[in-house]
Amino acid sequence: MAFFAYHGMAPTEKLQGQRFFVDVDLYLDLEKAGEGDDITRTVDYEGVFNTVKDHVEGKRFHIIEALAEAVATTLLAGYPVDCVTVRVRKPSVPIQGILDYTEVEITRTK
């Protein structure tokens, strides 16, 4: 998922904003959903997207670790998942050096 937002410590990050990329891995037993072709036994993917979007675009964090934690906590509380992994990538980091992005990855379970 890709978003434009205003997270960071530097004043320019807070004023100009930048792109953020978020990956979410959800872990739950999908056997019944797959066997029965039953949408009620899986996760609402659009809802997950909107939850992530609300956090990334609707809130501001100093560090991407806090963003990842907020997303993971909300997904665990609001969806029938046992475990979630959230990766947040920030490609435009104000660091003197050559790099593609900074990234954090967290995994949380119920």
Q: Residues with catalytic annotation?
A: 90
3-state secondary structure of 33: helix
User: Alpha-carbon dihedral of residues 26, 32, 36, 41, nearest 10 degrees?
Assistant: -50
Q: Say how many C-beta atoms besides its own lie within 10 A of residue 72's C-beta.
A: 20
DSSP string, 46-60: HHHHHHHHHHHHH--
DSSP H or E run through 20: strand 18-27
